[in-house]
Chain A
């Protein structure tokens, strides 16, 4: 069963080829076997999953339910789940049971999905290798010595190893697309404001966006359709209707204007990785799309811009973790200052502390203009660059990452090297644009991703562009050895 895509599983449930309980049991068994090797989960919600599956089966038996009823799914542990441990992979929230569901979780619950568990991740989504988790690193199913990418490493690894047909994820600077690329799966980050952030634990509020990791673009279209939409509880949620993303998947790409970002094909890009991207572009050309080089002159500044804006927002967003109302509290605080400092010093990991301090510094008196305000202005320049490019082309296509997955521990000692992993993905976050990563082949036996960026709210378009490629290729259906 697990070799099927989510769309196929949903069809199978509907045709009663198998029940949701059977499907759920199957995935739970795979998770339990896979967990020691991959560490993709923080929590496995076996009992709740089976109960939800039974309920879904009753719905299906009664001829009710929607396209996702009975489909198992995993939630990144950044989404609050009522009555279930919600840790954000941090010691700080290692005892935190959320009293409410995130909007995304509630919507997918209402759509009839069955939660299998909570996926491991980088602590508070800060990382590109899933090595900053309090619960230990997640391993790449293609090679356990390698990282799965991050921060949604658990989500990507779980889907790649077919421990779940889909996993929710979040993307602040590439946290959906980069692990999707490194694990050989499909991952979409929608337009900022398309998916509610309510109940999605904040890292950097003006950049965070929820999305999903699946096997195929078609699967992503199905799940995103159920996740997206206006939420009155999120002031930054946008009140525009959600189209049926599956309806336009097969639209022709003939005449589609594809922009190749000059800045994406730079010296940092692994030549073999570049080769895979060029081959994918050739597929589009064959299908009648037109390629055109475009330049976003300010894009090279996206990583420095991001590493001012994101830490600034994070330093403030994470101030609520103070050991007073929930979460970790240090032992025997001497006084209030000691309570604060030790709770936060002990409760946060090294990378989170680094970003809090960076953010505190760039917002502090005397540095605000030089760093924070400057970065907000450069962000504007980058957004305008994208706007100009989209006057000429329909989508932008390029690599998702400069290289395939790297070894565990290879980049932990040097934050800058780690940060540069997100060099191709950060731009879409800064400009709030939708982007998807799909598998486009292998480099030295490891999957790499093709990134498609669209205009604001053009999720249907990028899913369409991704899907027509997946009709022509089977990279997305490859399963890591040992997980077939």
Chain B
């Protein structure tokens, strides 16, 4: 038993092997049973788990026991006492340590042969190339922002041929899980094929906010009093400090101010727990929902990797509030999605210069706030690079060239990069005076 011991004694993977070594009628496309599939899963396949929290812990366990041999996990958080009711890889004595590191250690200790590499950092700190290195990315996140970020990165890997056909080898599959109390969802995202997060942004409910005048003048609920302390009072009374929701003294102050205000207005119901809930926007969480959702995500990852069973198409909702209810929906891709589509259709004058065209893009409402100093490329060739200076100088002469000169008679797809964009923005240029519309519909088959 040395460092190389994978623990793979005879019979260990018996049940997985039934799936990988036997043909079935309900399998994924091109599935050919073979022992090499498990070797591939254990030796070559690389999976990234984003988040080592409630879902993340479950995902790491499930993936390791589904036969995945190489797992990376990224999480910026440290362990808190309130994690322990569900994040089963952590113990009381781990409180304060990085989640990713502890989770990786525990899984490797328990499941022999698996390598789990932890990354204790923000997802934005990793270069895009880091994400390119994985065959599949599984998300166990609790914020829309983080999902949007990774979605943009993964969609920016997509490449389309000159005729608008998606290069299938540039697809990085994602499996996403989410839970809130007794509810949850699992979904499979094949960027460019199935809807990305941005295509279905409406799935995420808007956050509740209170009008400031209600908070300031006519509070009626405990939450109003808490938000007053949080959004107004802190800034007025503790001007030099930044509020930190994880600082117990800050939270206590918040609670006491809210309580005073509530008493002043005859409002009952302000508690420390409610104060925390409102200020930190706490989402209730229990172990079993996380387990169910993570299990579904892991199975989908296994199916994508091996095709041993047909996959989910493409969104499963789960509701355990009353009885058990699930429903799987095949959502549709937004053909003009600014993140994953072949390109956002933009009409331009064939004779306008690249400089004029870039100004037109900046002024376009659809990209408002997303572009400041864009760089533009076409079919892998840089048309204009805003930075570094040497490239800027080399490409500057293109600014005065006309679009028809740069893109040809029919226009085409240009990739726009900007510091303000998380990924690449694909713009499909059609000339206004040309008879044809942007060819989004012609290539709809790609979705």
Whether both chains belong to one complex is answered with no
Which B residues fall within an 8 A CB radius of A? none
Which A residues fall within an 8 A CB radius of B? none
